[in-house]
Structure 1
Amino acid sequence: MKAVYVDAPESIKVKKVEIPALKENEVLIKVRAAGICGSDIHTYKGLHPFRKPPVIIGHEIAGEIVEVGNNVKDFSAGDRVTVEPQIGTGESEGVMTGNINYSDERLAPGIGEWLGAMAEYFISPESQVIKLPDSVDYDRGVLVEPLAVGVHAAYKADIKPTDRVAVIGSGPIGLLTLAAVKHRGVETTLVTDVLDYSLDVAKEMGATLTVNSAQDENWIENAKNELGGSFDKVFVTAGVRGIIDQSLSLLRKGGKVITVAMFNGSQEVNIENLQQNEKEIIGCMTYNRPDTEEAVRIIEEDKIPVNKVISHKLSLDEADYGFKIVDKKEDESVKVLVKFDS
């Protein structure tokens, strides 16, 4: 089969590899579409903490089961599926509490023997496979996993319909967090970014106000004035310098900041603003099964146009280009899919 490798930092190669042998509790999926994720870009740049080149990349997929192991009970050839790409391992707090995202050791595609998903075929344990509703096509099926991140963030924030919500960063995770928040009934939403085309997508997905923070040095006060005051919840979906303090400045007293983005390095925090106003900063890491199941329901209901985040559908041979434009934020890229023809 052909597979997309991060061969070395900032080097993508398409290579031919053998399809691994199927174990008794596994299914073999013919991949129809795979997404390029922000964490994939961390691997691409050599910055990911535990997924290192050379490695078959990818974990956002949708496809069709073509073979099942002898002990697989709930799936059969022909099923249309996606995959929840994380498994808690070892005697960790996450495994013991049922919060797999807490696990000290987690198995994911591209780690150890579990090969990445951006390939013509992908093997997954049955336990991680999720059926797609008939109405959900493969392209939207790819969005289940990143949308689950936004759903988990909304859960951690304890979102209420009356909340005034800001999303700082309108990349794919920010936009899908917006979708998860709107699914919970929130009407007043601010989305910020430095790229107008990405903010245009936020408008299409129902953001009340969008702001290009690079073009207005007083954007925080202006946004609060336009929407009637400070915000109850602020989601940080871009890991740039100074963004935590910006989010605290948007927040009302007693409000919550939820950190969703992957951060490299440290962030300075105005501890006085945090403490004296009883604001909270909440860590948020991936998702758990209930979040994934809710993500499937959101996509199936089709009330929020999550497909708007898909900006490119590329062939396998164009994967290198896809990684470059996502990394450099070029060609108006948002969510880039790599498609596998039947």
Structure 2
Amino acid sequence: MWMDKKTATMKAAFVTSVGKVEIRDIPRPEPGKGQVLIRVRNAGICGSDLHLFLGTHAFRVLPAILGHEMAGEIAALGEGVEGWQLGEHVTVEPQLSCGTCAMCRQGRPNLCEKISVPGTPGWYGTFAEYFVAPVSCLYRMEKSLPFTSAVLTEPFAVAVHALRDAKPGPEDCCVILGAGTIGLLCLVAAGKIAGFSKVICTDTAPFNRELALRLGAAAAYDPLQENAEEEILRQTGGGAALTVVAAGAKDILNQASRVTRKCGEIRLVASLTRPIPYVAYDLAHKEQKLQGVWTYTSEDFAVAAQQINHGLDLHALVTQILPLDETQRGLEMLRDKTEDVAKILISL
């Protein structure tokens, strides 16, 4: 349907060295047993892609094809694939767990000891014209839905995982420190998934704070220009029930403890790859809980896909759409904040 049998190559964006992206022609893959070939239409630049670009990624090794967020159309079916058709619009849960390790047996496949993800040996990234995925990772997306919306399913699943089991009371407030893409998606999930009636955000960028207000935040403060902690404590009557850390400022964990109430929770969504100081007195004195958040489960991903398929509009987060050959520019833009940036998409 979209396949040109004479064409044996495809374009893909590689990070070849720190700060350097190359667009290469590589062999176009064929789907194996139980797999489909997807014509990628949009891929999203994630903070983890920036880590790869900067040479600070925890486990991806250069050179590597960027990307794990994507939306596209099924272009070919592998052997034994049933229940899927050419042309269906799909997105992919970009993690494949082993199903047998201790974490998988405990229902935590996101913490699988042998997990496979795009951009690692054996499964290349999504910044490519075609992408192969097992059918177990596929999610149907409505054909009426733009690919630029469907591609947001994966990052929204992170926010769903971060907020899904929160149980706020009617007066409880959620505070989100950092209103970048994931922080803003956590803002949406705090209201739509967890049911918080009030969410307060902080961020140093005026554009991010404005976007937070547009997406429903009760307030958005600049922690460098305002006494954000004092305002949060005043508005919450003693602190947030739940504080989500979605930024990596050097004092961010101390800020989180200070704005969280006694017996409140702090959830760390940001991937902090450098040491930062943390004085744990408030954590102990207030009997707070500090919990890490890592990707999502398939249940979280299904919730995210369902919400987007049923009309949840996250398109306000899409600030730039660039062609594949401008991937380097997109990563530099995200790194240097030369423009107002939330979510940058790559169009293929």
TM-score w.r.t. the length of structure 2 is 0.93
Distance 1:284 1:161 in 2: 24
Moved more, 152-161 or 243-252: 152-161
1:325 has 2:327 as partner:
no
State the one-letter code of the partner of 1:106: I
Q: Residues 275 and 228 (structure 1 numbering): CA distance in 2 closer, same or farther, change over 3 Å?
A: closer
* Alpha-carbon shift at residue 113 of structure 1 (Å): 1.3
Asked if the contact 1:172/1:309 (under 8 Å) is kept, the reply is yes
Distance 1:279 1:175 in 2: 24
From 35, 47, 62, give the equivalent of 1:26. 35
Distance 1:196 1:52 in 2: 35
Q: Residues 144 and 23 (structure 1 numbering): CA distance in 2 closer, same or farther, change over 3 Å?
A: same
1:337 has 2:345 as partner:
yes
Distance 1:130 1:145 in 2: 11
Q: Which residue of 2 aligns with 1:120?
A: 129
Residue aligned with 1:150, SS:
helix
1:313 has 2:327 as partner:
no
Q: CA RMSD in A?
A: 1.5
Aligned residues between the structures: 338
Distance 2:244 2:73 in 1: 34
Distance 2:269 2:147 in 1: 25
Asked if the contact 1:157/1:258 (under 8 Å) is kept, the reply is no
Distance 1:272 1:214 in 2: 23
From 190, 209, 215, give the equivalent of 1:199. 209
Moved more, 225-234 or 306-315: 225-234
Distance 2:296 2:75 in 1: 27
State the one-letter code of the partner of 2:33: E
Distance 1:173 1:23 in 2: 33
Structure 1, unpaired ranges of 5+ = none
The 5 A counterparts of 1:1-342 are 1-89=10-98, 91-159=100-168, 162-183=171-192, 184-216=194-226, 218-303=227-312, 305-340=313-348
Q: Residues 94 and 307 (structure 1 numbering): CA distance in 2 closer, same or farther, change over 3 Å?
A: same
Asked if the contact 1:7/1:54 (under 8 Å) is kept, the reply is yes
Moved more, 91-100 or 189-198: 91-100
Asked if the contact 1:157/1:256 (under 8 Å) is kept, the reply is no
- What whole-Å deviation, never above 9, does each CA across 1:43-85 have from its counterpart, x for those lacking one? 1111111112111110100000010101112312111000000
Identity of aligned residues (%): 33
State the one-letter code of the partner of 2:250: R
Moved more, 279-288 or 180-189: 180-189
Distance 1:337 1:77 in 2: 24
Structure 2, unpaired ranges of 5+ = 1-9
Distance 2:75 2:146 in 1: 17
* Alpha-carbon shift at residue 145 of structure 1 (Å): 0.3
TM-score w.r.t. the length of structure 1 is 0.95
Distance 2:279 2:328 in 1: 41
Residue aligned with 1:108, SS:
coil
